[in-house]
Structure 1
Amino acid sequence: MRRAGMIPYLAVVAFALASVFGLVSRPATGAPSEHVEHVIVAGTAGLRWDDVDPVDTPNLWRLAQQGSIGALSVRSAHSPTCPPDGWLTLGAGNYAERTDPALQITDECPQTTVSIQQQGRSATLPDQETDVADWNRQLGNHVQPGALADALSCTVAVGQGAAIAAARPYGRVDRYEPTLPSRPGPLLSECPLSIVDLGTLDATDPDARAEQARQVDAHLATVLAGRPKSSLVLVAGLSDTDRSSRLHVAIADGPGYRGGWLTSSSTSRQGYLQLTDLAPTTLNALDRPAPTELFSGQPVDSAPGRPTDVVNAVSHLSDADREADAQRHVAGWFFAILTLFELVLFAGAVPLLRRARRARRLAGRRLRPAPVALVQAAEVLLVAASLAVPGALIADAVPWWRSGAPGLIFAISTLGVVAGLTVLVMLATRGRGTLAPLGAVGGISAGIVGIDVLTGARLQLNGVAGYSAVEGGRYAGLGTIGLGLIIAGILLAAGWLAQRLARKWRPVAVAALGAVGVILVGSPYLGAEAAGAIALTAGVCVAAAICTGGFLTFARLAWATLTGLVVTTGFALLAVHRPAGDRGSLGRFVSAARNGTGGSLVQSTSATNGTSVVTSPLTLVVLGSVILIVFVLLRPTGGLKRLFGIYPAMRAALIGIAVASALAGFLDGVGFNVAGAAAATAVPLATLAALRVLDHADDRTIVVLPLGEQVPAGVRPTLAGVGEPVGVASGVAEPGSAAAGDAPGGSDGGVRPSTHANGDQPGTDTAVNTGQQEPDTPVSAPTAPVGDVLP
């Protein structure tokens, strides 16, 4: 290969290296360095921020005013997290379950019933070492009930729930009291850690719930009255009480926790923490080493930026809980309606695709062309469908969840945004060629997600097109739907841009935009999605390798593989050196492979993938897209082969989207959710482009020769439609085939047409030019139908 020819490939590798070097690992959130002699964890099942006010719960309100506060996600290994699951997760420092896995929770959680055998001042939980240990051993994530108590010399438990959290792995509770003494000072000073069950808030009636909150506040007042010196108090609403999972109260008051937002590196979001973070926080405050191989959380820090007025701070957390609760209900029907709409649209596009190619040939006989208005309406609907998910993401900027009819307000907001974006795209791309809508929608989708990630992913947090803090899978960065959007957007925009450049610089354009996308997706400070960045790298490598046309040759495959290996290795090294609770799926897999537990993790990921495939409506979008592409668009009358032949860079982009989105879903264990979001954006646009290409398939192209010049001997130009290359060969090449616009190995053999009706540069950059005609003496070759040969 010539040196000049290697420049684009070297540029691709340079962009790949730059993307890795841009992914500097985020440092772990620093927990306070001040230590205490005693930690008191006061837990209450069901306590939410809308239960806290200065009238009914003055002690909770005062503690929130002087301490640090946050929204607590109570995710455990059981769904929902019932009170026994929350208490056991607190004591294990990992996602555990104590509710019988075979028990189906249809409405409310069952009453907590635990067999406790008291022996003097200590007690024993007989089933801790048998049934409970067996259930959690099967989870495969190193869950050890009682890991927190096992890390300390002595623990105190007050109440039934506290006994579950304070029991050691073999079931022994060091100090146990069924109820809180009226003077608890001596009891709370006996051991470094005291866990107190303040009660449960499970009433649905507002008055009854307020009364339960007052009782919890009164018990907290007794605890605070007996609080030892040099102590940290952690108040946590550590479980749900029914199927409606919510965000709960978290307050930390003590050295290092004064007037801030609670956060940890396991969430990377100010004001949010997980239940599994409380165990490492306790040991950090007591200056005890934590069993990092057993704990999945990270010590909690107090971050600045909280409003000085506690009313505003508590209102902010209550509002986040309401949004997360509404998101769960609205997201389900939104994606169901989107799936139905796209499937109906795909079905309706089939007859239009058939008429678009055959109408001109059979007009006046059997098949009439589709009305222009109908075709234009179909194009508008296809663009609108591709903008539905980006529109839903923008609609989350509207506080729709605060209204009495959140679903209706969200629907109106989303429809308004989608309509505005659709009008903008149609007006901006009018008369600008076949690929203009693809480039515009791709740029809009990638831009929306990119700006959101750069500004803290506020639209995705608890958003319909984002992720829920209640589910606890992600609290910051890029979510599953956002990942699918940015994959589709980046590669569509890259394909559009590459098609407008000279052949040798197309890989550079794809790699440049791809590197930007990889940094946005994979940087721990931005998307924090290492597995998604690896998947996007694979898609970009494939797209860069074939964007010049032709097949995936050995040389192209070698460059793509080398680049992918460099980026993957860089991500793996960065991920494995991050904190244990912040490694993501890639870091957990590398760590598991190092310690010999990779098999169980692969099995768990496969099971999660299977569940997502069966339960997600986006799976139907993927299936519908595959059926449309394979049985309609890739057929001779479907237009996609013709599109690929004319625009090889767009072929590369669509193949890259398929590779990247499918791989991302597998690595993250979310089934077809990433591919579904990408398909919902890309497939309607591919259908629109196929319609436009077929609309010009039977147009005539005039081959113009300079005055007095004859067609060279042995060369017979074949004719193609307007906007397609005119092949030069000894035989006739079907437009849209490899010979017509995408020759194997990247070499084209076509005559460049004198005009291009679509306004886009075709894929034949090395075509033979028959010359330019003189303006005053036009001489045109005779026209002929597509596929005919000039004499």
Structure 2
Amino acid sequence: MAVVAFVVASLAVSALMARPHHRSIGQPGPLVIVAMPTMTWDDISPKATPAVWALAQEGAVGNIVTRAISAHSCSIHAWLTVSAGARATLGKGPGQTGSDRKIEPCNTIPNPQKIGQGARFPGWKKWRTDSLKRPIPAEIGLLATRLRAQGSCVAAVGKGAAIGAADNSGLVARYSPTIETANFTTCPVNLVSFDKIDDDALGTLMTRLPEKTTLVVTGHADDTDQESLRAVIVAGPDTPKGLLRSPSTRQPGLLQNSDLTALALSRSDANPSLLDGRLPAVQPSPNADHSIEQVRDVNQALFDEHRVVNQFFIRYIIAAGFALAAGLAMLWVPTLRTWARRWFVIVGAVCGAVPVSTFLVGLVPWWNTSRPGTVLSLSIIAIAFGLGAIAVLGPWRRWVAGPAVFLAALTASVIAIDVTHGSPLQFTSIMGLQPVFGGRYYGMGNVGYALSASTAILTASLLAGRWILRGQRRLATATIVLIGMTAVVIDGYPSWGADAGGPAALLPAFAYLALNAAGLAVTWKRILYVGGLTVVVVGGLGFLDYLRPPEVRTHLGDFMASLINDGRLTSLQRNVRANWTMLTGVWINMFVPLLLLLVIYVLIARDSRLGRPLAAVTSRVRYLGHGLAAVAICWLLGFLSNDSGTGIPPCGMVVIAPLVVMIAASSGRLTPKDVPLEAASRRRVDAPHADAPPAKPAPAT
């Protein structure tokens, strides 16, 4: 019934999210890319920017991710990214805007030296050398060099655009400092840089363009503004109306700066191979105003949810702390202990429902309200209270672990359905992908992975415990294998989760559960077998992705391509460096390894002062102890194998801890209703408890 319900829900979501077939962007004439830094859809209107608005009514619209290496994007880095088709930087960029709204200044764009009709950057050789030495090398100058090899060229108007138009040696084929002196007929690709949003200058430019020009107008970079997605418009005779899309983001209405490189290269190469950029297309829609409203809403939602993240979780932690303190105070009063247990069940249910509520709130258009941050926070809490009430009052409440299984299974299922349909809920969730500051726009993010993996393992272990109580170890093992295979496929399949580090942690965790459910000992030989199987599965997923065309590969296929073609481990290096930077960048993250060690110690040292409370809970609920041990294995391996693995243990703890508290405080049946108490008691006497400590041997005589 659970499988049928999941499939039906998935098909229903597929039907609701059905979209028209994508159409390509034709370029019958020259391509002109105009950058107006900081431009968002809030800056665009019929009165304020009539020229930009007219283009938006005629062409395809979207938002563009401008982040390069640093948290704050600058025009110089954006143009280097366009030049390389991959994220690139020059020196250390500004950090993320703080709570004081103070923005660090961007690096100044140097003036090129004019040489005949072109120009040259004297320091380009050093820039290129430094860029190629980075963990993920970016080949600045790639755009102009490839087009020149095809007998084409790139012209630039403005010093910023000159950076994007320079070839490997720093030479710009055609350069004009101003629009008035520019000639848009000499090169098929033209880059134009403005210093700010200038609708009048754009209108003047449009009067000088040749016929059949494909015009791209993009917000390009944050520069002097707070970090945000920026507006992008593509208009031309062969560009259909609708939402811009790219395989690099898989989100309707979202491009990256490097996708513009792919668009320019597609003039001579139908499927240009780039590190980051992919050829954009259009999801047709005849209603231009509706498309503009969609991309404006997405930008507003991402901007508002990022502002509320820290405030929401600080207040949530304080409120949860007070709730726990109130429950502990009631425990000290003998006449209130029954109420204290009920209180902990309620608190555990609501707190356990908060993570999934941060995803489900995306179904509510909170960003269209007058106070979006407040409405977002209140909506999350309201959904959490509703789900908590269902968990506590549902028919599963008669089993001590029933409410926890409901919430855990719901969390894992919601994230699974979301991931298999393009991650629209993760995209805008406060516990989601954070696309403005991150590098992932689809698939399984690290926070989503921590929540889904932890709850899937807990669900599998508690359901397997039901079969073990009935003496059905084969069915217990089958339950774990079925849930485990589903979780691994959803997380690792390139068109869904597209996660390499996730399956590497999930497989050993579920294998540990399955071995114990089958009554088999965890030996070094079996550990090696599991390790080999993990390598085969993860490598196989990456190799299958590598076999697909380059333009549709995910980072899994790109990693295999770099390993097979060049012997490079750049993606692995990036993961290690990113995880180390995250671990050491903020002092509180240094406690994550200590948290992991504490969890492992509590699970192993059952007779210790810290371990006894948890041991009392795991001894009551069949197989819960093994489930928590498997969760700890997943956290440890996930911490080591993911680029932001530092966040996995604490995010997993956010959902697991309240569920364990709820189980500990529940007064329901220790065994499910379908398991006869007499038979369960007899089996507990006849066979040692799987979660119980080993019996001490008799003293030698």
* TM > 0.5: yes
Q: What TM-score comes out, normalization by structure 2 length?
A: 0.83
Q: Do structure 1's residue 109 and structure 2's residue 105 form an aligned pair?
A: yes
Rounded Cα–Cα distance in structure 1 between residues aligned with 2:501 and 2:260: 27
C-alpha spacing 1:561/1:104, structure 2 compared with 1 (3 Å): closer
Aligned residues: 656
Alignment match of 2:296 (pick from 310, 314, 318): 318
Rounded Cα–Cα distance in structure 2 between residues aligned with 1:525 and 1:248: 26
Q: Rg: which structure is higher?
A: 1
Segment drifting more, 603-612 vs 329-338: 329-338
Rounded Cα–Cα distance in structure 2 between residues aligned with 1:299 and 1:397: 30
Residue 402 of structure 1 and its aligned partner are, at CA, apart by 3.4
SS of corresponding position for 2:62:
strand
Q: Do structure 1's residue 150 and structure 2's residue 125 form an aligned pair?
A: no
Alignment match of 1:234 (pick from 189, 192, 216): 216
Output the amino acid matched with 1:329.
R
Segment drifting more, 498-507 vs 526-535: 526-535
Q: Do structure 1's residue 433 and structure 2's residue 399 form an aligned pair?
A: yes
> Which residue is equivalent to 1:755?
none
C-alpha spacing 1:345/1:660, structure 2 compared with 1 (3 Å): farther
Q: Do structure 1's residue 398 and structure 2's residue 364 form an aligned pair?
A: yes
> Which residue is equivalent to 2:236?
254
Output the amino acid matched with 2:161.
A
Rounded Cα–Cα distance in structure 2 between residues aligned with 1:626 and 1:524: 32
Q: What TM-score comes out, normalization by structure 1 length?
A: 0.74
Q: Do structure 1's residue 330 and structure 2's residue 305 form an aligned pair?
A: no
> Which residue is equivalent to 1:686?
660
C-alpha spacing 1:495/1:200, structure 2 compared with 1 (3 Å): same
Alignment match of 1:298 (pick from 265, 278, 290): 278
Tell me, yes or no, if the aligned pair for 2:432 and 2:447 is still in contact at 8 Å.
yes
C-alpha spacing 1:529/1:605, structure 2 compared with 1 (3 Å): closer
Gaps of 5+ in 1: 1-28, 202-215, 360-366, 697-702, 706-721, 745-791
> Which residue is equivalent to 2:352?
386
C-alpha spacing 1:266/1:736, structure 2 compared with 1 (3 Å): closer
Tell me, yes or no, if the aligned pair for 2:304 and 2:367 is still in contact at 8 Å.
yes
C-alpha spacing 1:412/1:101, structure 2 compared with 1 (3 Å): closer
Alignment match of 1:652 (pick from 619, 623, 626): 626
Output the amino acid matched with 1:671.
G
> Which residue is equivalent to 1:141?
136
Rounded Cα–Cα distance in structure 2 between residues aligned with 1:30 and 1:610: 39
> Which residue is equivalent to 2:601?
630
Map residues 56-135 of structure 1 onto 2, 5 A cutoff. 56-98=48-90, 100-101=92-93, 106-107=102-103, 109-110=105-106, 112-130=108-126, 132-135=127-130
Rounded Cα–Cα distance in structure 2 between residues aligned with 1:614 and 1:98: 23
C-alpha spacing 1:417/1:496, structure 2 compared with 1 (3 Å): same
Rounded Cα–Cα distance in structure 2 between residues aligned with 1:333 and 1:177: 48
Residue 136 of structure 1 and its aligned partner are, at CA, apart by 2.1
- Identity over aligned residues, as a percent? 24
Q: Do structure 1's residue 727 and structure 2's residue 701 form an aligned pair?
A: no
Output the amino acid matched with 1:170.
S
Output the amino acid matched with 2:428.
N
The structure richer in helix per residue is 2
> Which residue is equivalent to 1:505?
475
Output the amino acid matched with 1:40.
V
Residue 76 of structure 1 and its aligned partner are, at CA, apart by 0.9
> Which residue is equivalent to 1:38?
30
SS of corresponding position for 2:31:
strand
Rounded Cα–Cα distance in structure 1 between residues aligned with 2:95 and 2:414: 43
> Which residue is equivalent to 1:457?
423
Tell me, yes or no, if the aligned pair for 1:82 and 1:99 is still in contact at 8 Å.
no
Output the amino acid matched with 2:489.
I
Rounded Cα–Cα distance in structure 2 between residues aligned with 1:174 and 1:376: 75
Alignment match of 2:187 (pick from 183, 187, 191): 191
Rounded Cα–Cα distance in structure 2 between residues aligned with 1:430 and 1:685: 14
> Which residue is equivalent to 1:287?
268
Output the amino acid matched with 2:177.
P
Residue 110 of structure 1 and its aligned partner are, at CA, apart by 4.0
Tell me, yes or no, if the aligned pair for 1:530 and 1:584 is still in contact at 8 Å.
no
Deviations 1:140-178 (A, max 9, x none): 322122211111232211112111211222222111111
Residue 287 of structure 1 and its aligned partner are, at CA, apart by 2.0
Output the amino acid matched with 1:158.
V
Residue 134 of structure 1 and its aligned partner are, at CA, apart by 4.3
> Which residue is equivalent to 1:264?
246
Residue 405 of structure 1 and its aligned partner are, at CA, apart by 3.2
Q: Do structure 1's residue 532 and structure 2's residue 502 form an aligned pair?
A: yes
Residue 587 of structure 1 and its aligned partner are, at CA, apart by 3.4
SS of corresponding position for 1:40:
strand
Rounded Cα–Cα distance in structure 1 between residues aligned with 2:482 and 2:396: 27
RMSD: 3.7
SS of corresponding position for 2:645:
coil
Q: Do structure 1's residue 664 and structure 2's residue 638 form an aligned pair?
A: yes
Output the amino acid matched with 1:424.
I
Rounded Cα–Cα distance in structure 2 between residues aligned with 1:628 and 1:348: 25
Tell me, yes or no, if the aligned pair for 1:296 and 1:580 is still in contact at 8 Å.
no
Deviations 1:65-111 (A, max 9, x none): 22111111112123311111112211221111236548998515347
Deviations 1:21-60 (A, max 9, x none): xxxxxxxx98838453522111111111122222232222
Tell me, yes or no, if the aligned pair for 2:504 and 2:535 is still in contact at 8 Å.
no
Tell me, yes or no, if the aligned pair for 2:362 and 2:425 is still in contact at 8 Å.
yes
> Which residue is equivalent to 2:10?
none
Output the amino acid matched with 1:115.
N
Alignment match of 1:47 (pick from 39, 48, 65): 39
Output the amino acid matched with 2:168.
P
